[in-house]
A = this chain, B = another copy of it.
Amino acid sequence: MSGSPRSDDIRAAALDLFTRRGYEATTMADIGAAVGIRGPSLYKHVASKQDLLAGLITGAMNDLLALHRAAVATTADPVERLRRATEAHVRYHARHRKEAFVGTRELRSLQEPHRSDVLALRAAYESGFRELVNAGVEAGRFRVASARLTSYAILDLGMGVAVWFREDGEIGEDAVVWEYGELALRIAGAGLPD
């Protein structure tokens, strides 16, 4: 799956720069300098700057979807399913904050047809969460005003994590994951009186 070690270095450097400065503000010379070579030499390893972005974003989206499916498959209980899906969501956004950050912030810079592909994957991911909420409501375990609004709220929390989470911060990954799993259930109204 992963190419030569040099290509991996380049992808990592591009990810870092795209995260900090943005795709448009990052030059091929910048990426080259980050791995110790000149801009044009990058073309011996990657097809184009746009290709670099597309690889990063689609890779991230596929990873996230795989983790989501795995998390949901571990139980049939509606409450636990939402908790574990949220935990997977938050853990990904904490552990791979750069990928998640670029995946949402630089989606604008992704050209067609890649952008439509990624948007379709995101729509599927979102509707997956909405289904989870709906299943809990139908089972009488959740109380929500709007499943759409509830799922947006939970997903947005994860996006936020990618922004402020720091590996060396005062709050560890496990603590954030646990707490946000709890928050998701509160948001969905689990355990509320009728």
Contact = CB atoms under 8 A, between A and B. Distances in A.
Interface of A: 21-22, 24-25, 105, 108-109, 145-146, 148-149, 152-153, 155-157, 159-161, 163-164, 170-171, 175-176, 179-180, 182-183, 186-187, 189
A148 B160 contact: no
Contacts of A157: 153, 156-157
A156 B160 contact: yes
Secondary structure type dominating chain A contacts: helix
Contacts of A153: 157, 160, 180, 183
Contacts of A146: 171, 175, 179
Residue among A21, A149, A182 facing the most chain B CB atoms (10 A cut-off): A149
